[in-house]
Amino acid sequence: MKGPAGALYVNDGGEGGLPVVFVHSSAGSTKHWASQLSHLRQTHRALALDLRGHGQSEVPTEGAISVEDFAADIAAVVDGLKLERFVLVGHSLGGAVCAAYAAAHPSRVAGLLLLDPASDGRMIPEEQAQGLMAVLGTEAWLQVVEEYWAPMLAPSRPEVREQVLGGLRATAQVAVRSGLGSLLTFDPVSALRRYPGPKLSVVTAYNEGPDAYQVRVPELPFKKVEPITGHWVQLDAPAWVNGVLDGFLAPLR
């Protein structure tokens, strides 16, 4: 499908109910949602997209990409498929991207489910943020990201770790750097408060600090992940996430 910065890959299927649109994390892809797509397509239309530079979508030629730019990828897909109203589900970076889209198009979004969303990157000290971006522009970028993600992958099964790290190694450096960098300036507080519809943040133990969305926005409903998982909850505990999805979708119209 044509996107604002090149072709976007979309995995679309199922019918019935409100359509559900899934958005992956930094260096993720539609493959992270395989269990959720299979589960929901029994009763709903469910689709996932690869953000620009990720998965099977085209790698952009320009440098910096903002969270709002990624949200424009969602807009291109839902507009191209003529989806009037739908539920958004975003993981990590995808949570920020979904919040940005929902803030800009609140009447289109029937519900917003954030799965261990990214924290408020504006709270990282300026010097530390600049250092991170500098390192992500060097040849050492892959090692740096793998080391950063190691604690968040520690509880995961070996096959989950391999899937996540394999996806990272297959993602263009510019996409990873831009994706992580976009979180340093994005304002999730304003975005979440501009979307008045049903929303829920599902958080792991890694997402309870002062920069967490549910701390920054105290009125944001949240639920703690019950099984012990890493950050990639939908891969570690697919059945549990599917149950949360069912519960969140049930009252939505």
Check residue 237 and give its pLDDT.
98
Query: What percent of the chain lies above the pLDDT cut of 90?
Result: 98
Q: Which helix (H) or strand (E) holds 126?
A: helix 126-136
pLDDT tens digits, residue range 152-209?
A: 999 999 999 999 999 999 999 999 999 999 999 999 999 999 999 999 999 999 999 9
Helices 173-182, 67-80: inter-axial angle, 10-degree rounding: 110
Q: Check: pTM over 0.95? Answer yes or no.
A: yes
pLDDT band at 93 (very low <50, low <70, confident <90, very high): very high
> Do the Cβ atoms of 225 and 116 come closer than 8 Å?
yes
Residue with tokens 């289109």: 108
CA distance linking residue 125 with residue 25, whole number of Å: 23
Average pLDDT over residues 19-42: 98
CA distances from 74 to 51, 94, 247 (A): 8, 10, 24
pLDDT tens digits, residue range 198-228?
A: 999 999 999 999 999 999 999 999 999 999 9
Nearest to 133 by CA among 74, 174, 86, 92: 174
From the CB of residue 94, how many other CB atoms can be counted at a distance below 10 Å? 30
> Quick one: DSSP state of residue 58?
P
CA distance linking residue 132 with residue 88, whole number of Å: 30
pLDDT band at 62 (very low <50, low <70, confident <90, very high): confident
> In sequence order, what are the residues at sequence separation of 6 or more whose Cβ sits closer than 8 angstroms to the Cβ of residue 113?
87, 88, 89, 90, 199, 200, 202, 244, 245, 248
Check residue 36 and give its pLDDT.
98
At 65, the amino acid letter reads: I
- Give the torsion sign (CA, 86, 245, 67, 145): negative
Average pLDDT over residues 131-141: 94
pLDDT band at 61 (very low <50, low <70, confident <90, very high): confident
Check residue 64 and give its pLDDT.
83
Query: What tokens does 205 get?
Result: 């133990």
Query: What percent of the chain lies above the pLDDT cut of 70?
Result: 100
Check residue 235 and give its pLDDT.
98
